[in-house]
């Protein structure tokens, strides 16, 4: 196999276009909290926009661009590629989606704050359950992060995850219909037992597979814990705050400086703002939809997208 040669990055190539930033921001915001996989859709979008090239980049003087320059510990270094920069950008603009949830669920956040100072017991229990649901994905994610980056960030793995996720959603809907009476009870996320919260967190580990959807698996976990669809979605949104925030902070420290040097701040802000506005609208839509229809339509959508992707990659 012939190794790829470095390419010179012109001033124009070294910037993400405003159009690209808007597309990625809108895709992130719309899909982050819908049970259809933001990561999967963003991998697809970056592929369609031509932002997934893995050729090592050099500047206009021919000097290599690095994520990590060569060192005694790593003589080869980690070269910067357009794909690495785009993958980092996609995760960092999740901050916009986080801000949308903060705005929409501000009352719940205030309840948790009052719980910390001993003024709201249910708020403290909600905070405890969010922490327990957050814990498993942190441990597993840190343990297998490098393996995921090397093996699962591709369109074929997204297709497989979309189909497997659709099957999980249909199974969850069938379970919910069999236990409909139990789910009519207005159980709140704060009323979950520690074991139930940990179970939701364990389900969330499936979302480390790009294309699976973090919001989907937390909602399914909430179903099994006895939450009605809208309450399961609400708990998933709140659990997403530390998950998405931690991922964005970690990626920002790890490869953020190299990404910003390549793309610049303006497109970062455009993408984050687009993600925030579209995520706020998507959250409102999802809660209203789930109260009436459940997850079934999203499972069908996932199958349609998987089929379209398969045709695009292998048949078209």
Q: Are strands 78-79 and 66-68 parallel, antiparallel or unpaired?
A: antiparallel
- Residue 300 CA, chain-centre distance (Å), reads 20
Burial classification of residue 96, based on how many CB atoms lie within 10 Å of its CB (0-12 exposed, 13-18 middle, 19 or more buried):
buried
Q: Encoding tokens for residue 162?
A: 């979309």
Place of tokens 């189909």: 163
- Whether 8 is covered by a domain: the verdict is no
- Whether 82 is covered by a domain: the verdict is yes
Q: Encoding tokens for residue 131?
A: 């922490």
Q: Is the dihedral of CA 165, 166, 167, 170 positive or negative?
A: positive
- Whether 4 is covered by a domain: the verdict is no
- Whether 7 is covered by a domain: the verdict is no
Q: What is the pLDDT of residues 174-205, one digit of tens each?
A: 988 887 644 455 689 999 999 999 999 999 99
User: Is 51 strand, coil or helix?
Assistant: coil
- In this predicted structure, the answer to whether residue 107 has a pLDDT above a threshold of 60 is yes
- Whether 259 is covered by a domain: the verdict is yes
Q: Encoding tokens for residue 187?
A: 């159980």
Q: What is the pLDDT of residues 236-262, one digit of tens each?
A: 999 999 989 988 998 899 899 989 888
Mean pLDDT within 56-78: 84
- Whether 201 is covered by a domain: the verdict is yes
- Whether 2 is covered by a domain: the verdict is no
**Helical ranges in the chain per DSSP H:** 18-32, 38-48, 82-92, 94-104, 106-116, 121-151, 155-178, 180-184, 194-204, 214-224, 229-263, 265-292, 296-310
Contact indicator for 85, 263 with CB cutoff of 8 Å = yes
Residue 57: phi, psi to the nearest 5? -100, 145
Per the structure, the complete domain to which residue 295 belongs is given by 15-56+76-315
Q: How far apart are CA 201 and CA 79, in angstroms?
A: 34
Mean pLDDT within 87-99: 93
- In this predicted structure, the answer to whether residue 53 has a pLDDT above a threshold of 70 is yes
- Structural domains of the chain, count: 1
């Amino acid at each position: 196999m012939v190794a790829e040669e470095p390419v010179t990055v012109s001033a124009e190539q070294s910037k993400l276009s405003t159009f690209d930033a808007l597309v990625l921001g809108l895709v992130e915001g719309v899909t982050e909290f819908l049970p259809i996989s933001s990561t999967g859709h963003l991998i697809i979008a970056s592929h369609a926009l031509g932002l997934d090239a893995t050729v090592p980049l050099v500047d206009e003087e021919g000097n290599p661009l690095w994520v990590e320059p060569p060192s005694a510990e790593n003589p080869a270094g980690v070269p910067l590629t357009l794909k690495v920069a785009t993958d980092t950008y996609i995760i960092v603009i999740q901050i916009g989606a986080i801000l949308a949830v903060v705005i929409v669920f501000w009352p719940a956040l205030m309840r948790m704050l009052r719980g910390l100072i001993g003024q709201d017991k249910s708020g403290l229990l909600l905070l405890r359950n969010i922490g327990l649901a957050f814990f498993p994905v942190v441990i597993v994610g840190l343990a297998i992060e490098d393996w995921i980056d090397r093996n699962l960030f591709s369109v074929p793995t997204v297709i497989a995850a979309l189909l497997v996720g659709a099957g999980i959603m249909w199974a969850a809907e069938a379970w919910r219909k069999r236990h409909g009476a139990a789910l009519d009870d207005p159980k709140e996320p704060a009323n979950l037992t520690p074991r139930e919260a940990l179970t939701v967190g364990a389900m969330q580990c499936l979302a480390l597979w790009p294309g699976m959807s973090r919001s989907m698996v937390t909602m399914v976990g909430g179903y099994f814990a006895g939450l009605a669809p809208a309450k399961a979605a609400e708990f998933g949104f709140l659990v997403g705050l530390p998950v998405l925030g931690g991922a964005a902070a970690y990626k920002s420290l790890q490869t953020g400086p190299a990404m910003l040097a390549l793309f610049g701040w303006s497109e970062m802000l455009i993408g984050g703002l687009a993600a925030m506005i579209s995520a706020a609208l998507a959250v409102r839509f999802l809660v209203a939809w789930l109260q009436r229809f459940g997850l079934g339509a999203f499972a069908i959508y996932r199958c349609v997208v998987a089929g379209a992707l398969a045709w695009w990659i292998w048949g078209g």
